[in-house]
Structure 1
């Protein structure tokens, strides 16, 4: 079969590992075509020529060596009307929007299999999306640096912002695992004056405070509001998109291999129109129709999320 592969939407560490493992498993029996810059390259027929060495040497690189893109809905629908695929199967690496919308629409024209790849980890129906562990580890490192400076020069409040769009999975995972003094996410409403009071109590107790917040709470605006209520100096740390380009962890590279195994199984069984999902220790799949009906994922709220009290 002729199999096309694209990366769609925001890049995620581990995407290159998926590209390598897909090629390693499928290239013996199928013709593999990599399309440049996501859906845009697919529609324009822009092909990326990659050798085995190219793929292997970038296995542990962040980002995606074939590029990705976001396409406006009007443009996507217009291009879709004239889409004449020269492939039998399309494999799409992407996040919530790519798997729930783009894949479903493309599946009307070509057999599609999706793989969840997003640091946001917000794709419904799957416990895990490739890139999440790498981003978490990146923010753990950033938190550790703040902890070092916080214990050195005291009487300050540090606010570490994570990516995550309108979801709080990254902030929740990082903040909960390190028992941050407070975690703010879009899924939980909060009152700035109460957050400020909690942070001030923490500083009085241990000399400094560290909050982990998701970008979805409008972090910069929230920081300015906190400055009005806090007596201590606030330091806002925004690593931004560095997290998306970080080196993938062992877990993400291993997950890339496992997801690719299931894709190979699905192709051999002629099972298309699906997204591969991880549920517990098992890999399975959901149809795009089912995926689209599922509610948005909500982070598991642990005690220190929005608690803000120092023990």
Structure 2
């Protein structure tokens, strides 16, 4: 058994779901246990941390890292695989979050998510001036199909989304090949970040890719 480090780390998911989020949580919990840390799972993101929805990750069988199934789930505990992390930001819950960080003896937060996770972490840092309980290490693991987390090159879920778009475009091209004088427009996810549209356009052989960063209107599509 690993020697106990004396540190307690909490892991939570924030924002829209992305492929690989659950695997990231599982790996985080396993590595934490291997290093002797006490690991906690937070349900419902920052809101769950404020309401005290914190517990040890589900462990199947014994207390060994090899058997960990730790995955924070959302309200109502949906079946495994159904995953809808909340998008609530922590600013309005500073007092409650600080209290629960103290109550559960949390020494660090590992936040898995996209731009909301990044923004929420910045808000927690702003709250340090008033709440000393927030003066703990914060680690954001980028996990979003949009690949729009500042300071990161690549996020969990972006490659899966890109491959899915490319596969879909290949199928649409099969239909388009048998038609004439038609234009096929494919809308991707990504919000204010044009990564998916740009890369999918290159991979699928699109004639053009229109992205948020480069303003366009309906006349540009004609």
Structure 1 length-normalised TM: 0.55
State the partner residue of 2:131: none
User: What does the per-residue CA deviation read over 1:253-280, in whole Å, with 9 as the maximum and x for residues that have no partner?
Assistant: xxxxxxxxxxxxxxxxxxxxxxxxxxxx
Task: Please state whether the residue corresponding to 2:186 is helix, strand or coil.
Answer: strand
User: More helix per residue: 1 or 2?
Assistant: 1
| Equivalent of residue 39 in structure 2, options 23, 32, 36 | 32
- CA distance in 2 between partners of 1:168 and 1:136 (Å): 12
Measured after TM superposition, the shift of residue 53 of structure 1 is 5.6
State the partner residue of 2:121: 103
Q: Relative to structure 1, is the Cα distance of residues 63 and 166 closer, same or farther in structure 2, using a 3 angstrom cutoff?
A: farther
- Confirm whether residue 44 of structure 1 aligns to residue 51 of structure 2: yes
Residue ranges of structure 1 left out of the alignment (5+ in a row): 197-311
What's the Cα RMSD here? 2.2
Task: Please state whether the residue corresponding to 2:139 is helix, strand or coil.
Answer: strand
- CA distance in 2 between partners of 1:62 and 1:134 (Å): 16
User: More strand per residue: 1 or 2?
Assistant: 1
Measured after TM superposition, the shift of residue 54 of structure 1 is 3.3
Q: Relative to structure 1, is the Cα distance of residues 79 and 12 closer, same or farther in structure 2, using a 3 angstrom cutoff?
A: same
- CA distance in 1 between partners of 2:206 and 2:219 (Å): 19
| Deviation beyond 2 Å, 4+ runs, structure 1 | 51-56, 61-64, 104-108, 152-156, 190-195
Q: How many residues align?
A: 186
Aligned partners of 2:29 and 2:68 also within 8 Å = no
Aligned partners of 2:14 and 2:116 also within 8 Å = no
Measured after TM superposition, the shift of residue 77 of structure 1 is 2.4
Aligned partners of 1:16 and 1:63 also within 8 Å = no
State the partner residue of 1:152: 178
Residue ranges of structure 2 left out of the alignment (5+ in a row): 1-6, 60-66, 72-79, 129-133
User: What does the per-residue CA deviation read over 1:106-150, in whole Å, with 9 as the maximum and x for residues that have no partner?
Assistant: 343132111111111111221111111011011111101101111
State the partner residue of 1:284: none
Task: Please state whether the residue corresponding to 1:159 is helix, strand or coil.
Answer: coil
- Confirm whether residue 171 of structure 1 aligns to residue 178 of structure 2: no
Report which structure shows greater RCO (CA 8 Å, sep ≥6). 1
Aligned partners of 2:26 and 2:69 also within 8 Å = no
Q: Relative to structure 1, is the Cα distance of residues 96 and 8 closer, same or farther in structure 2, using a 3 angstrom cutoff?
A: same
User: What does the per-residue CA deviation read over 1:204-237, in whole Å, with 9 as the maximum and x for residues that have no partner?
Assistant: xxxxxxxxxxxxxxxxxxxxxxxxxxxxxxxxxx
Structure 2 length-normalised TM: 0.76
| Equivalent of residue 86 in structure 2, options 64, 69, 84 | 69
- CA distance in 2 between partners of 1:22 and 1:40 (Å): 21
